[in-house]
Structure 1
Amino acid sequence: MPTGKSAQSGFTYLFVLMLIALIGMGLVAAGTLWSTDVKRAREAELLFIGDQYRQAIRSYYEREPGQPRLPQSIDELLEDRRGVEIARHLRRAYRDPFTGKEFVLIRSPDAQGITGVHSPSDGRPFKVSGFSAENGAFAEATRYADWQFVFTAPAPTTPVAGASTGAPAP
């Protein structure tokens, strides 16, 4: 059985090994928390950017109330030249925070223009509740590509047959 200095160096060696193992476990835990935090920040950025696109499409649509129409491209949201002054409904063409690629455009069923955008990412979202009213459908989404930021144009109002026109009844 070793005595003296050689016995002490064995305990020191074990202590250093345990310390390195504890530091490694701490770094793994910190890395996991960091990656989760980064993913949540990217989700928040995706929600912000998607809302920016939705608001830009709404603004473009409502610019000429007598003749509302949807944009044909993102460039029209960046520079709307329909009026006397150039309108900028969108500050810049944003990229998807998860993939770095351009957003996928959602076209209207009748091909009259762009109604929204969605992410090309197939990642699984952390956020599954607590969405705004406009984004309420995102609660059932299984991937980020299912988060579709769509502007729904109001239905045209047509007078109902037999409805009062405001004139007094005979």
Structure 2
Amino acid sequence: MRAPSTRQAGFTYLGLLAAVVLMGLLLTMAARVWSLTEQREREEQLLFAGDSIRFAIAAYYAHGHRYPNTLQDLLVDNRSPVPVHYLRRLYIDPMTNGTEWQLVPAPEGGIKGVYSASTLAPIKGQNFAEIDKGFTDKDCYCAWQ
């Protein structure tokens, strides 16, 4: 039996090398798509958490005509005989994965709002809900105030 020529053996190696390069490119493309999908989901979570905190602060203010001093005040409001719970739990900031929100101070004291400390550029730039129209065309999540 004859040994295969070196020319044929090199062809197999070249084909295998091309297949590995192609798989690497496909995996890179899949990772980019997955990363964008994950960021979109975190954006939706950020909008949900921000709106929940916004509505809780508005309800707190409507109940006593002053803003909460801390976010903990939204969990249990002891200003009345029966404690009121505006939030069941404090939401994490999905962009930084922490519970430390940046606070928007109210002119008369307390917290008027919250925003993320993330400096990442948002994917979503248009088509916000009416209450979030101020977020249109912002260049980082920290500008979503």
Deviation at 1:100, TM superposition (A): 2.2
Match of 1:105 among 103, 106, 127: 103
TM-fit CA distance, 1:132: 0.7
* Match in the other structure for 2:44: 44
Q: For residue 94 of structure 1, what is the amino acid of its counterpart?
A: Y
Matched letter for residue 115 of structure 2: H
Please, which runs of 5 or more residues in structure 1 have no aligned partner?
A: 149-170
> Residues of 1 paired with 2:96 and 2:126: CA distance?
23
| TM-score, length of structure 1 as denominator length | 0.78
CA positional deviation for 1:94: 1.8
Shift of 1:4: 6.2
Task: Give the corresponding residue for 1:61.
Answer: 61
Q: State the TM-score, normalized to the length of structure 2.
A: 0.91
Of all paired residues, the percent bearing the same amino acid is 39
The reply on whether 1:5 has 2:4 as its aligned counterpart is: yes
Match for residue 35 of structure 2?
Answer: 35
* 2:132 pairs with 1:135: yes
What is the RMSD of the two structures over their aligned residues, measured on CA atoms?
1.5
Structure 2 unaligned segments of length 5 or more: list them.
none
Aligned to 1:72: 69
Larger CA Rg, structure 1 vs 2: 1
- The aligned amino acid for 1:104 is Q
Whole-Å separation in 2 of the counterparts to 1:110 and 1:90: 23
State the AA in 2 paired with 1:130. Answer: N
Shift of the 140–109 alpha-carbon distance from structure 1 to 2, 3 Å rule, reads farther
The structure whose residues are more often helix, as a share, is 2
Displacement of 1:97 in angstroms is 1.0
Q: Kindly report structure 1 stretches of 4+ aligned residues shifted beyond 6 Å.
A: none
CA distance in 1 between counterparts of 2:48 and 2:93 reads 11
Q: Secondary structure at the match of 1:44?
A: helix
